[in-house]
Amino acid sequence: MIHADGALSRSDSPELPSVLPFSFVPFQKAIMDLFELTRALVDIESVTNNEAVAGEFLFRHLSPLAAKYGGRVERMPVEAQRFNVFASWGKPVVTLSTHMDTVPPFFPLSEDDEFFWGRGACDAKGIMAAMICAAENLLTEGISGLGLLLVVGEERNSAGARVAAQTPRGSRYLINGEPTENKLCMASKGALRFELVAHGQLAHSGYPELGRSAIEALLDVLENIRHLTLPQNSLLGKTTLNIGTVSGGRAPNVVADEARAEIMFRLVGDAAPVREAVHEAVAGRVELREVLYTPVFHFSAFDGMPTSIVAFTTDVPTLHETWGTPFLIGPGSIHVAHTAEERIAKRELRDAVPIYASMVKRLLAAHSAASGKAQ
Ligand SMILES: [Zn+2]
C-alpha cells in the first residue's frame, strides 16, 4: 500500500546503523510505503561489489508480495555473494528494472520537507522504491503480467545486466529507471573508455638524463588527447572527454618507471572516428587499452510524455535484446547523482509511482491488442 502523504517521520522507520556489517540484513516491516522503503534502501550501503545486503533486503521485501499475488521471486546469481533479484507475476510482459548498486562513497540518509538525501537517493534507490510501489499498486488492482528486475553492478561494468541478458524471462517491454526528472529519455550518449600505461626507466632524479620518465610521456600523450577535435551533432550535442584517474611514480627523487591514466569519452555517434583519433594522438608512445565501449542508444517513444536526452549510459544496451522494447525514465536529477549532494525530491518520487504504473498498463494493453490481432 502506498500512503500518498508519506507523512512518516524518520523515527517511524527502522533504526539502522549507518554502515551495516556484511551478513546483517536490517529489520523490515512486512509492508512499507514509498517513503519508508526509500529510507530503508538508502540506508543500506551497496557500493558496487557489496550489494548482498541490499539484495537480501529486496528479496525479503518482495517475497510476501510474490506470495500474496501469485508471483515468484528469485535470486539470480552473478558472482559469489552478488545476485540480481527478479520478481514476476504471471508471464512478465512488462519489466520494470533498475540497479541496486551505487557509486562510492556511502553516506547515510537524511531528509527535510522537500528531499531525501544520501548515496543512491536518486541513483537509483528512490527509483527502485517507486517501481516496487507501482508494481504493488498494479497487483492490488488485480493486474499481472509484470516483472521487477533489480540488478547489481550497473555503476561499474553491467555485470548484473549481462547475467540477466543471458537468462531472459519472456519480457516484451523494458522500463528502465535512471534519474531523468520523470521525463522519457529519447537517446543516451555512448561511452568509450581507455586505460593508458606509460613505461619509463628508473633513474636518480639528480641525473634524469640516465632514465626516461613514464609520467612525462603520459602527460604529453594526455595533452594531445585533450586537444583533439571531437565529433558533435544536433541530437546529442558534443562528444566530451574526462581524464578520470592519473597515477604513477615512486618518489619525488626517482624518475618514474610507470604511469597510468583512465580516460572516458561520452559519444554522440559512431565510435570509430574517436577511436582512430585517440590511436593517432597516442602514436605508440604509451600502451593503449580499450576497456569499455557502449554505443549511443535510441529509446522508444511514448505518446504524450515529456522527453529528454541524457549524457550517461545505462544497462539498457545490455538488456534490450532479450528483455524487450526499452524505455528510460525515472525521478531525480542526474546532476546530483554521484555527488556529495545526492538527493531526490519527495514530490518527484511520489509522481513516479503513477507514471510507472500507467506505462505498465498501457504497454500491457498494447501487447494484448497486438496478440489479439495476431490470433
Ligand atoms: Zn544509475
9, pLDDT greater than 90: no
Return the C-alpha cell found at 339.
555527488
| Phi/psi of residue 249, nearest 5 degrees | 80, 165
CA of 337 to the centre of ligand 1 (A): 8
- 89 belongs to a structural domain: yes
In a domain, 314, yes or no: yes
Distance (Å) from CA 193 to ligand 1 centroid: 18
User: Within this chain, do residues 91 and 177 fall inside the same structural domain, yes or no?
Assistant: yes
219: domain CATH number is: 3.30.70.360
Tell me the CA–centroid distance for residue 41 and ligand 1, in Å.
14
**pLDDT higher than 60, residue 76:** yes
Q: Which domain, by its residues, includes 357?
A: 22-187+296-374
Any alpha helices (H) in 167-271, and if so which ranges? Answer: 214-226
Q: Give tens-digit pLDDT for 214-249.
A: 999 999 999 999 999 999 999 899 999 999 999 999
* Statement to judge: residues 282 and 302 lie in one domain: no
Mean pLDDT in residue range 26-55: 89
| Residue 8 belongs to a domain | no
Give the burial string for 288-310 (b: 16+ CB within 10 Å, else e): beeeebbbbbebeebeeeeebbb
Peptide bond into 124 cis (omega under 30): yes
Residue 246 domain-assigned (yes or no)? yes
Q: Which of 294, 324, 345 is the last residue of a domain?
A: 294
188 CA → ligand 1 middle, Å: 13
- What pLDDT digit, counting tens, does each position of 133-174 carry? 999 999 999 999 999 999 999 998 899 999 999 999 999 999
Residues with a known catalytic role: 154
**pLDDT at residue 25 in the model:** 61
- How far does residue 314's CA lie from ligand 1's centre (Å)? 7
User: Which pLDDT tens digit goes with each residue over 271-328?
Assistant: 999 999 999 999 999 999 999 998 899 998 888 899 999 998 889 989 999 999 999 9
Same structural domain for residues 327 and 271?
no
Percentage of the chain exceeding pLDDT 70: 91
Task: Convert the pLDDT of each residue in 163-219 to its tens digit.
Answer: 999 999 999 999 999 999 999 999 999 999 999 999 999 999 999 999 999 999 999
Structure confidence at residue 42 (pLDDT): 98
- Helix axis angle for 272-282 and 214-226, nearest 10°, is 140
Residues 204 and 233 placed together within one structural domain of the fold: yes
Return d(Cα 129, Cα 57) in angstroms, integer.
Answer: 12
Please give the grid coordinates belonging to residue 38: 526509500
Measure 70 CA to ligand 1 centroid, in angstroms.
30
Q: Is residue 14 part of a domain?
A: no
Is the pTM higher than 0.85? The answer reads no
Of 112, 127, 114, 113, the residue nearest 42 (C-alpha): 127
Which residues does residue 333 pair with via DSSP β-bridges, in sequence order?
none
What sign results for the dihedral spanned by CA atoms 316, 322, 323, 324? positive
Does 115 share its domain with 206?
no
